[in-house]
């Protein structure tokens, strides 16, 4: 056996060993079914009423955050902006208007064509941006708006 054959055999052995090692690591890290630890059961009974949703962030970028907030006045929209002189309270939908919006189903979510944002409308407040990374499916935001509107005390 000459030197070239020895190198070729050694290369094949190292390649086979590497393939086996990588296959084992792939199985261990990626293909093996995850094991879930069971949590000890709580001795405290859960509250009989779920917590009422009071606010939700619907749009978030590095410079702006838009929140919908349930208050004693109705549903409010607040815009937080890192730039000076921008943002603050944008609008309020009062309880009487909330009832009409819920009755008529006058709120919509439009995912649009943009990759990162879509729009939503509630009553007369039209085309407000929402972040698709927060609400990948428009139905999620629609359900959230429904819940916030239902939580307004009329």
Q: How far, rounded to the nearest angstrom, does the alpha carbon of residue 75 sit from its chain's CA centroid? A: 21
Residues in Cβ contact with 21 at an 8 Å cutoff, skipping those fewer than 6 apart: none
Residue range 6-22, pLDDT digits in tens = 889 999 999 999 988 88
Radius of gyration of the chain (CA): 27
Residue range 24-71, pLDDT digits in tens = 777 777 665 555 454 555 555 555 445 678 889 999 999 999 999 999
Question: What per-residue confidence (pLDDT) applies to 43?
Answer: 52
Q: Round to whole Å and give the CA distance between 86 and 43.
A: 48
Question: What per-residue confidence (pLDDT) applies to 133?
Answer: 93
Task: Answer whether 0.95 is exceeded by the pTM.
Answer: no
Residue range 82-112, pLDDT digits in tens = 888 888 889 999 999 999 999 999 999 999 8
Q: How far apart are the first and last CA of the chain?
A: 93
Question: What per-residue confidence (pLDDT) applies to 82?
Answer: 87
Residues in Cβ contact with 151 at an 8 Å cutoff, skipping those fewer than 6 apart: 52, 53, 54, 70
Question: What per-residue confidence (pLDDT) applies to 27?
Answer: 72
């Amino acid at each position: 056996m000459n030197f070239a054959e020895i190198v070729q055999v050694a290369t094949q052995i190292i390649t086979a060993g590497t393939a086996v090692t990588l296959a084992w690591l792939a199985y261990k890290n990626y293909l093996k079914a995850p094991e879930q630890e069971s949590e000890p059961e709580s001795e405290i009974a859960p509250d009989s009423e779920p917590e009422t949703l009071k606010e939700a962030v619907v749009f978030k970028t590095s410079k702006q955050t838009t929140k919908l907030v349930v208050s004693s006045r109705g549903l409010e929209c607040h815009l937080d902006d890192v730039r000076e002189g921008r943002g603050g309270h944008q609008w309020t939908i009062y309880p009487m208007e909330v009832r009409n919006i819920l009755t008529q189903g006058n709120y919509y979510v439009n995912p649009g064509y943009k990759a990162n944002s879509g729009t939503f409308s509630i009553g007369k407040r039209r085309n407000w941006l929402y972040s698709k990374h927060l609400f990948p499916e428009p139905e999620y935001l629609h359900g959230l708006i429904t819940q916030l509107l239902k939580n307004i005390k009329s």
